[in-house]
């Protein structure tokens, strides 16, 4: 395939009005392991597939706390993710100190989007090579955003990024209309089913390779997950009940029964 | 196709005196979904086709409030639009604080045009990849401007930018002479008919994919749209009456009757 | 056609001692619609052909006021023109504030020429892509200058820039010796005849596509144009009498009779 | 082999979303002599193969003390290692002076990872060409991190970097589950066996080409290595007992007996 | 013709130790219309051929006053000339203000030569594309210097630059030994004869295309040129007597009779 | 031979993880005339082959004093050596002034190594093209370091750099085990024999082309070289006794008898 | 001839460890007219061949005074020479003002060598294209240095630079051993004979094309040259006696008789 200089400099347009370097950065995101996010009226959850660089390492962290009311899951270059998430944390802290209240979630997402836009326009730096799913909880309720290296950020009902995320999206598109009224437990289960779609044929979700991030408030009867509180990440054994309750791969997932007893309470 | 270095560096002229990078940036605008703007003696309106990045997201925002008396519709790179619209907002706020009155609309448009011109002349940054339709209301009445990445901005009676905007322009050119005396309702209807022209064969305008931005003052009898007030965006159900009243695609649109009872009042 | 790097970097000479980028910038000027300037003992006038970007826009402004005693007509990139004319205005204002008198016209022209020269010599910026005809009135009488992207500026008896300006120049060269003693009316008529030469076969000058800029003092009997005062632009109906009095295209223009009753008075 | 510009500029992505310069920097790490790190509940140890630039030099130093509670082994460009390890030392010192306590190990590792990330994104500097194994001891116990030029840093149970490190990793993967309960002596022996795997056919570990770095506290009966204290490097004769106790290359290494009498005590 | 990168970057030497960009800048000088300079014991004179950009413009200025005691004639890029001559004027003014006396001529010439040298050595700017003949009068008498874009400046008895200047030089070399004792009138006549040599076959010197610059003191009987005073430029009718007294092109110029009655007086 | 861009920019890695520019800089070192360094328990000595740029110049200086306790011999670009040795001198002086004691030798060597590393990583400067042998004497005894343009510096028992230094190294490797107990005289003799190996077939060491640098303390019976004191360079006649005592080229050098009467005394 | 990028950027090494740009700069020196320098126990002299850019100019200055005790002769780019010699003068003046004594000659030479080295290593500037012969007189007696664009400077007994300087060097090498005891007159004669060797077949040294620079003290009987004093340049008639006393080109130069009556007195 013949290439030209349009695609090696992020500061130029191709004749078709495209920015090749930005598109290549999106490829870097697609090579990260998948993450899934979804939200109900009361909760936002993240689910991510952890990769291990071999048996000798613990699985690599895919989720990060930004503030009590904001968490992220990443896909792409981990070192870029660290830089951007540190920046988000500083923005969050600074907001707390200056305004004495948590930063609005969309404000935090815009901050990294603006930072990323600069790298798509000015000479001397490549675009970031990482995408985020951001969940947050503020006065306007639970949120789910996707941040992309292009400098864009959109709000979603449910979303997936990373390798084979298209399969997860297909699952989510089939069920997303029911998410709004789901209990936290049901939301997590839907997320796990979506995440499972991103696995290669011979792989399975297990307590080691799966992370669950939760924001929102509500009671969770069966699994004992604390229904409300700051952003929390479930890993290891606490995940087991959820995995056990999953519909086997071949069977169609039964629509989870609606929960009715949630007491929605907004974090400040 | 053979290319050369003229088209990958925005700071050089081609032998024909052209700036290829600027022309390629205009291509980026053409790839955004369409927006239409038109104005009467009393009102300026924007109509835009929202795209969705799939069922999982709400439709992407195409219109933004800059100030009470200024609103924009965008086509092209969303992240560039965010940067430029933030800049406009700052200019508007700064004008209010310094001069204690709203910034003249043409001043705000010139500010982003100057900012964009720099990126067409100096080394190290690509041109912006987004176009705006700007409506505003000031002491000289309602306005409609187009801002383009070339650093140009022109005032129009009616205009369309984005994908297939040529079809909308054809509609507008056929009817623009009647716009000046239109009621707000008629103006919106003309705009919707023009916007519909930009749709692909099998698409339809609906309450989800259509945004209407309004500035000006006047009574709107049938639809109950508040006749005057700050820049407001209609989305969802309030749009339905307008869509319902549209002439079917095949039928020629009847010229809306002239309204006579508008009480034009300039916002300060 | 084979090209090399001499023509893509304005900071290098070709082996023939030429600056290709500057020459290409001159091409950008040649693609703008034409403007004509001429002067008598008492007046300087500008005449320009306005282009419209379609029926939906008013014709694009081709003339700009810099100060009461200076006006310009442009050909080429409009956004570059805006930047340079703003700079001229600032120079003019600054001169008034510092020296308490209008800036000498040649000083203002030199200021933009110096600014343009830098862009022909230093790395990192392209030359400006716009040319100006500048008319001014100061203690040494009426003036007409051409400013070009090369950083040059010359004084002329009469001049034309932009598309097909060569045809206008041919007209002007035939008649320029008579301009010095022309009345304002005659001067304008000569200018219109020259401007008409730049039209394509099937186009005509009309009240919409023609602008007339005037500086100087004198009585104008027939058309009622105010004989003296600050730089003023005639557009629309006031132009009609001038257009009506034009010699039809095929007929040779009769030499306008000399006016004798002008009271020349210099603006301060 | 055909190459393109993607791989000579660290600030651009390839169409596959890869940063070739970062990958080439990893090659520089692979050309350094091997280092092995592993940890138990009570100790972290480093083992490294020293190269000599000939008989005339002493073997080149492969391990460096960063602080009493942190030490590193390097593989790759020595001069880059010196720059980065000096930076780590400054961070450690600064932490002590500002907070009056040793810097947390992960903080020190993040500091160089952030520094390295910049060189993978901004124009004007190549990525660092060196990898580190970092052992540390803080309130959360003994640690082992790998730092890589990509700006990543991961925690490991056991790890190897440098030339033929894959062979060492294979050994470590086979035995790592037993490391957690190993005595310091056993840990060192496992490390030596792993390190031996990286040797070329005809080479042997000896007191000249082997370095052992130790952190943690515990009693070592047979060899007299001081069981606890600041980061210490064993070289020369003190290594001999360990080498002598190694299982011959052909024989399978006997699982070292578990030690029971360690008194684990955390350094402050 | 094959080219390479030596000739497009002024900061590199060719293998032959040449700076191609400087040589190409000298080509730009050769494309300017010719100028001639010569000096006697008492006077320095400049003679230059003015070009017109057509009938519509007055002839372009080729001579500029720097100070009462210094004047220049230029050949090459006019906009570069303006920049450099402005710089000379500032140097001259600054010298007057600081030292309360006119700047020594060679000091002024060195100032622009140093400025020009920088552009032949440092990256980011092309060499200047203009040459000067500088005449000056100071305590050491009348002077004539050539300034060239290479950053060199030499003193001459007589010199010519610009298009076809070689022909003028041939004339000057034939007669320069007699210049030292010439009267101002004779000096001017010699200059005109030399300048005429640079004309194309069918062109003639006339009062419109010829400029004469004079410095020095002495009586001029026949033509009434003021014998002494600050740098003055003769143009138009005052030149006529000199042109009328010229030997016809075919006839050999008679050696002008020596003048004896000059009262040489140095300007301060 | 085919080349690519990896080898012309010091800030990029080749796909093999190599920095070609650094390797080419090492070639520049190999083209310098040879230098030899060796050390005993009490002394460090440098021996260098001086080149002459012809009979008209004295031989070029190959050794430089940095401080009383540090001296260097260079191979490669002399102008780079001057810059780096001046930098070392400043570091040494600054250390004395700030800490009131001589700078530790390894500190001085690290200082230039750090300086050199920057030029292997950052854009805009080539690596240094010179290597040093550094001898020094501090509280830890006599030292010998090699500094290389790669930013590395290693301590050696004995070392040679420059043209044909491999031959000298072969000699040194054969004898270096005996150096530790050599007297100063024996050490110098070994050095001369090693240096002689770097000569072309028809060249000989003589009092003009040989320099000897000495640091350390000890009695020298036969030759009268002052046994202790600051860094001193022997050139010319004082070298003769050493040259005379050399084993003829063909004969095997007899092992010098061990000296026993040295009184080792450390310089402060 | 095939070229590559090694030779167009002074900041990169070729694979052979060479800096092509520096070598090309040396070519620029070789294209300058020749200069010769030599010294005795009491004097240093410079002799240079002046070129004329034609009959119309006086011969170009080849020698420059730096201070009373330092003078230079140049070969290469004159404008570079002016920049560097001005820099030397400033260094000399600054030394006088700060230390109240003349700057040591080698200090002045090192200053320009350091300045030149930077241009061989850092990006953005070409090496200087000029070489100097520097003579000086200080407490250590008369000196002769060569400065070259490579940033090197060496002391010589006698030296020649510029076009055909090899022929002069051949003469100097044959006779340099006698220079040390020469009288000033004899030294000058030797220099003239050496300089004559650089002439083309049909050229002769004459009073117009020859410059002689003198430093030192001593009586000169025959020619009346002032035996001591500050740096002085002989040009024109005073040179005649020396030229007249030269041995005809074909005859072998007789060894000048030794002078005995010099009173050597060092300038302060």
How do the pLDDT tens digits run along chain C, 268 residues long?
Answer: 333 456 666 678 999 999 999 999 999 999 999 999 999 999 999 999 998 767 788 788 899 999 999 999 999 999 999 999 999 999 999 999 999 989 999 999 999 999 999 999 988 889 999 999 999 998 889 999 999 999 999 999 999 999 999 999 999 999 999 999 999 999 999 999 999 999 988 889 999 999 999 998 754 444 555 556 799 999 999 999 999 999 887 655 454 444 333 333 333 3
Domain count within chain D: 1
pLDDT in the model for residue D249: 78
First to last CA, chain E: 54
Residue C142 phi, psi (nearest 5)? -75, 145
**Are 3 or more Cβ–Cβ pairs between A and D shorter than 8 Å?**
yes
Greater confidence, B248 or F178?
A: F178
Contact E125 C176 (CB under 8 A): no
- Whole-angstrom distance, CA of residue C200 vs CA of residue C185: 25
Collect all residues with Cβ–Cβ distance below 8 Å to C94 and sequence separation of at least 6: none
Tokens matching residue A71:
């968490």
Residue E35 maps to which CATH number? 3.60.20.10
Interface probe for F, chosen from G17, G111, G125, G174 (most Cβ of F below 10 Å), is: G17
Which chains form contacts with chain F, at 3 or more CB pairs under 8 Å? D, G
pLDDT digit string, tens, across residues A220-268? 444 555 556 799 999 999 999 999 999 887 655 454 444 333 333 333 3
Contact C117 E80 (CB under 8 A): yes
Indicate whether G109 belongs to any domain. Answer: yes
User: Among C110-114, E236-240, G90-94, G255-259, whose mean pLDDT is lowest?
Assistant: G255-259
pLDDT in the model for residue F6: 67
Contact E28 C12 (CB under 8 A): no
Cβ contacts of E123 on chain C, cutoff 8 Å = 123
Q: Is E4 on the interface with C (CB under 8 A)?
A: no
Indicate whether D266 belongs to any domain. Answer: no
Q: Is C3 on the interface with E (CB under 8 A)?
A: no
Greater confidence, B226 or C77?
A: C77
Q: Which residue of F has its CA nearest to D86?
A: F114
Indicate whether C4 belongs to any domain. Answer: no
**CA quadruple F84, F88, F91, F93: dihedral positive or negative?**
negative
Tokens matching residue A120:
């798509």
Contact status, residue E232 vs residue E44, Cβ threshold 8 Å: no
Average pLDDT over residues B16-38: 95
Indicate whether C223 belongs to any domain. Answer: yes
Average pLDDT over residues E169-195: 96
Cβ contacts of A116 on chain B, cutoff 8 Å = 79
Q: Is C50 on the interface with B (CB under 8 A)?
A: no
Cβ contacts of B156 on chain C, cutoff 8 Å = 56-58
- pLDDT above 70 coverage of chain G, percent: 84
**Are 3 or more Cβ–Cβ pairs between D and F shorter than 8 Å?**
yes
pLDDT digit string, tens, across residues G40-75? 999 999 999 998 767 788 788 899 999 999 999 999
Q: Among partner residues E27, E57, E128, which is closest to C155 by beta-carbon distance?
A: E57
Contact A11 B124 (CB under 8 A): yes
- Has this prediction a pTM greater than 0.90? no
Which chains form contacts with chain C, at 3 or more CB pairs under 8 Å? B, E
pLDDT in the model for residue F51: 87
Contact E150 G31 (CB under 8 A): no
- Whole-angstrom distance, CA of residue A35 vs CA of residue A26: 15
Nearest to B13, CA basis, from C7, C17, C82, C149: C7
What is the least distance, in Å, from the CA of F155 to any CA of chain D? 6
Contact status, residue B44 vs residue B142, Cβ threshold 8 Å: yes
Contact F78 G152 (CB under 8 A): yes
Q: Is F133 on the interface with D (CB under 8 A)?
A: no
What is the least distance, in Å, from the CA of G4 to any CA of chain E? 10
C-alpha angle with apex E241: E240 to E242, nearest 5 degrees?
90
Residues 138-197 of chain D whose Cβ lies under 8 A from any Cβ of chain A: 150-152, 154-159, 169, 172-173, 176
What is the DSSP track for chain A? ----GGGG-TTS--TTS--HHHHHHHHHHHTSPPEEEEE-SSEEEEEEE---SSTTBPPPP-EEEEETTEEEEEEE-HHHHHHHHHHHHHHHHHHHHHHSSPPPHHHHHHHHHHHHHHHHHBTTBPPP-EEEEEEEEETTEEEEEEE-TTS-EEEBSEEEESTTHHHHHHHHHHHGGGGGG--HHHHHHHHHHHHHTTS-TT----TTTEEEEEEE----TTT---SSSS-EEEESGGGHHHHHTSPPSSSPPPPPPPP---------
**Are 3 or more Cβ–Cβ pairs between A and C shorter than 8 Å?**
no
Domain that holds residue D163: 20-245
- Whole-angstrom distance, CA of residue E224 vs CA of residue E235: 14
Cβ contacts of A29 on chain D, cutoff 8 Å = 17
Q: Is D23 on the interface with A (CB under 8 A)?
A: no
C-alpha angle with apex E256: E252 to E260, nearest 5 degrees?
170
pLDDT in the model for residue F256: 47
For residue A156, the cross-strand partners are B57
Tokens matching residue C130:
């716009």
Find how far residue E164's CA is from the centre of its chain: 14
Contact A113 B79 (CB under 8 A): yes
For residue E43, the cross-strand partners are E216
Indicate whether D261 belongs to any domain. Answer: no
Nearest to A232, CA basis, from A83, A109, A68, A79: A68
How many contacts does F have with G, using Cβ atoms within 8 A?
A: 97
Find how far residue D161's CA is from the centre of its chain: 7
Q: Is E55 on the interface with C (CB under 8 A)?
A: yes
Which chains form contacts with chain D, at 3 or more CB pairs under 8 Å? A, F
Contact B57 A123 (CB under 8 A): no
Mean pLDDT of chain E: 87
Q: Is E27 on the interface with C (CB under 8 A)?
A: yes
Contact G12 F124 (CB under 8 A): no
Residue A3, pLDDT > 50, answer no
Contact status, residue F151 vs residue D76, Cβ threshold 8 Å: no
Indicate whether A254 belongs to any domain. Answer: no
Cβ contacts of B21 on chain C, cutoff 8 Å = none
Contact status, residue A199 vs residue A205, Cβ threshold 8 Å: yes
Could you tell me the strand order of the sheet in which D130-138 lies? D63-67, D70-76, D130-138, D141-147, D153-155
Parallel/antiparallel/unpaired status of strands F130-138 and F141-147? antiparallel
Q: Is D255 on the interface with A (CB under 8 A)?
A: no
pLDDT digit string, tens, across residues F218-227? 544 445 555 5
User: Among A103-112, A192-201, B243-252, G164-173, whose mean pLDDT is lowest?
Assistant: B243-252
Contact A121 B124 (CB under 8 A): no
**Are 3 or more Cβ–Cβ pairs between F and G shorter than 8 Å?**
yes
Mean pLDDT of chain F: 87
pLDDT in the model for residue C124: 84
pLDDT in the model for residue E226: 53
Average pLDDT over residues F94-105: 92
Tokens matching residue F221:
């019976």
Contact F125 G11 (CB under 8 A): yes
Cβ contacts of C126 on chain E, cutoff 8 Å = none
Indicate whether B11 belongs to any domain. Answer: no
Q: Is E53 on the interface with C (CB under 8 A)?
A: yes
Q: Is D111 on the interface with A (CB under 8 A)?
A: no
Indicate whether A10 belongs to any domain. Answer: no
pLDDT in the model for residue E263: 35
Tokens matching residue G83:
């920049």
- Whole-angstrom distance, CA of residue C44 vs CA of residue C38: 6
Q: Is F115 on the interface with G (CB under 8 A)?
A: no
pLDDT digit string, tens, across residues G105-144? 999 999 999 999 999 998 888 999 999 999 999 888 999 9
């Amino acid at each position: 395939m013949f290439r030209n200089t349009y695609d090696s400099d992020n500061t130029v347009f191709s004749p078709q009005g495209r920015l090749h370097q930005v598109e290549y950065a999106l490829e870097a995101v697609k090579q990260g392991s998948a993450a899934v996010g979804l939200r109900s009226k009361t909760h936002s959850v993240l689910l991510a597939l952890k990769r291990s660089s071999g048996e000798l390492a613990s699985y690599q962290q895919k989720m990060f706390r930004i503030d009590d009311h904001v968490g992220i899951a990443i896909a792409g270059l981990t070192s870029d993710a660290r830089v951007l998430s540190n920046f988000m944390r500083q923005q969050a802290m600074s907001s707390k100190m200056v305004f004495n209240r948590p930063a609005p979630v969309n404000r935090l997402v815009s901050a990294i989007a603006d930072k990323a836009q600069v790298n798509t326009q000015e000479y001397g730096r490549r675009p970031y090579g990482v995408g985020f799913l951001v969940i947050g909880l503020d006065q306007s309720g639970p949120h789910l955003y996707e941040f992309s290296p292009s400098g864009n950020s959109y709000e979603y009902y449910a979303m997936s990024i990373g390798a084979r995320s298209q399969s997860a999206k297909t699952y989510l598109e089939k069920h997303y209309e029911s998410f709004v009224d789901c209990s936290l437990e049901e939301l997590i289960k839907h997320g796990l089913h979506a995440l499972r779609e991103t696995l290669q044929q011979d792989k399975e979700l297990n307590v080691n390779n799966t992370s669950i991030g939760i924001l929102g408030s509500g009671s969770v009867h069966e699994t004992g997950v604390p229904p409300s509180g700051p952003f929390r990440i479930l890993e290891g054994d606490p995940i087991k009940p959820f995995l056990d309750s999953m519909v086997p791969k071949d069977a169609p997932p039964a629509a989870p029964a609606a929960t009715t007893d949630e007491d929605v309470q907004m974090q400040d």
